[in-house]
């Protein structure tokens, strides 16, 4: 092997954590190499956040066209060229991933494609696809190896009938029947896409509710919309296994490219219902979305002895330092929420710590978004969490049905809810379900980060007619001062 490449810092992985770390390190004058086993941008940009949101937008547009007559607009029966939709989605991904490479280069960080393996806390071997090996020595290492879908017994991914989330973003055909195993955000987002495109979708969830951990009132709004879309939800139901059915798979007449024979037939998914009865669900494909696991069993991390928690996540401190000096961890492989924006902030902290600056993860509240229809977003404490923490709680809600902007765009499902301390009026949490919730939650995150009180929101003049008025009105409702609803 040739002489080693020597750098100040090496970043293993180029997802929303890894590439941000590389850029920030470059900005700070730290000689940095980013190593990526696959494509720049990692899971999020290539087969996660970005392509899924592109398909969600396409499906939402298709669904809105079907209901355009309600607005007096006649467009006929819309059709979809699925192959063209996938090409558009891939184009969006391509623009962003190429941008990552350009940003790294512009900020002085080098990029190397290959499989990284730790030899020691300061030495990494990188094997390229052509077999060429590169030895890298670094003073500091940032582990950003990400995560992958969890596999469950009896449902090994064959990527034909049993799919993971990556497969679901590139199906050659829109399935007539889709069984989604897991009622979390990934399953519901993708299940909603295919339901809008005409698939008969069934969601199987072993817990008593969908979207565990989110505000139950918000989840109820999403569940009602799923029912309206024809999605069947089976709660407290366990999947047992699946069998092939000896007949052709069904398909939807949504484009000529879907015609033709299929050699792979449908499947029968065996489940145990909440009452203990056995049942069978027919499916052309089965999408398993029961969570993700950190990739800490890869890249030879065991050789350098970083401490892991009981679930396999790397234990870090507020500067993202691991138990091994000089080694940092960020993103899905590190403790905490598996969120792209969490990874990016951790990346900045780790980079600044490596550069000798004073920085730490001091985020008061991490926002989370579910891109279902309607969208669901939250930051801070729920009512239950606040009460469990010993707080007296005051809650204000404002329905989108009373919001001028929501009415004018014919999208009135949902509400904004503000949770505050009843004694101090400090805002403890905000929960939004409805059109644009993913955009509205940022104002709420800023409010919590700044330690806002109800009057800070209620007395801030919001432009009219806009969706963010819902936050102002919810804060007023918590104070008994709501203008556009009856105060109770």
- Decide if 468 contacts 443 (C-beta within 8 A): yes
- Decide if 195 contacts 229 (C-beta within 8 A): yes
Nearest-angstrom CA–CA distance, 142 and 35: 10
Strand positions, DSSP E, 208-294: 232-234, 238-244, 267-272, 278-283, 285-288, 292-294
Instruction: Give the three-state DSSP class for 299.
Output: coil
Nearest-angstrom CA–CA distance, 19 and 32: 11
- The 10 Å Cβ neighbour count of residue 141 is 27
- CB neighbour list of residue 302: distance below 8 Å, 6 or more residues apart: none
Residues facing residue 293 across a β-bridge = 148
Task: Give residue 166's Cα distance to chain centre.
Answer: 13
Write out the two tokens for 19: 């590439």
Nearest-angstrom CA–CA distance, 127 and 454: 55
Write out the two tokens for 317: 């401190």
- Decide if 290 contacts 155 (C-beta within 8 A): no
Instruction: Give the three-state DSSP class for 89.
Output: helix
DSSP 305: T
At residue 188, what are phi and psi to the nearest 5 degrees?
-75, -35
Q: Where are the alpha helices (DSSP H) in 333-418?
A: 340-354, 383-388, 404-408
- With tokens 């926002």, the residue in question is 367
Task: Give residue 202's Cα distance to chain centre.
Answer: 21
Nearest-angstrom CA–CA distance, 113 and 126: 8
Q: Is 464 a catalytic residue?
A: yes
DSSP 453: B
Exposed e or buried b per residue across 154-165, where buried means at least 16 C-beta atoms within 10 angstroms of its C-beta: ebebeeebbbbb
Write out the two tokens for 230: 């024809």
Active-site annotation holder among 67, 159, 257, 464: 464
Residues facing residue 399 across a β-bridge = 415
- Point out the residues that are catalytic: 464
């Amino acid at each position: 092997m040739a002489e080693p490449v020597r750098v100040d810092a090496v970043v293993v992985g180029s997802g929303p954590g890894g590439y941000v770390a590389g850029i920030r390190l470059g900005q700070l004058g730290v000689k940095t190499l980013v190593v990526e086993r696959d494509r720049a941008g990692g899971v999020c940009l290539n087969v996660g956040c970005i392509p899924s949101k592109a398909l969600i937008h396409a499906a939402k547009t298709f669904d809105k066209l079907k209901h355009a007559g309600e607005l007096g607009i006649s467009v006929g029966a819309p059709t979809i060229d699925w192959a063209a939709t996938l090409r558009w989605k891939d184009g969006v991904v391509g623009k962003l991933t190429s941008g990552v490479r350009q940003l790294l280069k512009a900020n002085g960080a080098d990029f190397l494609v290959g499989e990284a393996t730790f030899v020691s806390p300061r030495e990494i071997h990188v094997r390229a696809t052509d077999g060429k090996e590169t030895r890298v020595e670094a003073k500091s290492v940032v582990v950003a190896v990400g995560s992958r879908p969890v596999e469950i017994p009896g449902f090994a991914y064959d990527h034909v009938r049993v799919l993971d989330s990556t497969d679901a973003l590139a199906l050659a055909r829109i399935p007539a029947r889709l069984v989604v195993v897991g009622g979390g955000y990934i399953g519901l987002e993708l299940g909603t896409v295919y339901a809008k495109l005409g698939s008969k979708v069934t969601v199987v969830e072993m817990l008593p509710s969908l979207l565990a951990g989110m505000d139950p009132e918000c989840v109820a709004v999403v569940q009602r919309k799923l029912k309206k879309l024809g999605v069947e939800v089976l709660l407290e139901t366990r999947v047992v296994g699946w069998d092939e059915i000896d007949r052709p798979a069904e398909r939807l007449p949504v484009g000529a490219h879907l015609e033709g024979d299929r050699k792979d037939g449908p499947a029968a998914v065996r489940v145990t219902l909440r009452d203990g009865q056995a049942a069978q669900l027919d499916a052309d494909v089965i999408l398993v979305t029961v969570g993700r696991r950190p990739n800490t069993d890869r890249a030879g991390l065991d050789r350098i002895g970083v401490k892991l928690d009981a679930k396999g996540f790397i234990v870090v401190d507020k500067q993202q330092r691991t138990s091994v000096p000089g080694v940092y961890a960020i993103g899905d492989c590190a403790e905490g929420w598996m969120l792209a924006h969490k990874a990016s902030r951790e990346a900045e902290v780790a980079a600044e710590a490596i550069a000798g600056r004073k920085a730490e993860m001091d985020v008061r509240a991490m926002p989370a978004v579910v891109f279902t229809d309607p969208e669901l977003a939250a930051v801070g404490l729920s009512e239950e969490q606040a009460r469990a923490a010993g707080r007296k709680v005051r809650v204000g809600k404002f329905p989108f049905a009373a919001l001028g902007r929501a009415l004018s765009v014919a999208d009135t499902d949902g509400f904004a809810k503000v949770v505050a301390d009843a004694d101090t009026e400090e805002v403890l949490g905000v929960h939004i379900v409805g059109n644009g919730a993913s955009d509205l939650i940022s104002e709420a995150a800023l409010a919590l980060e700044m330690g806002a009180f109800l009057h800070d929101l209620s007395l801030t003049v919001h432009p009219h007619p806009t969706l963010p008025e819902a936050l102002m009105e919810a804060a007023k409702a918590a104070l008994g001062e709501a203008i556009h609803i009856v105060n109770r």
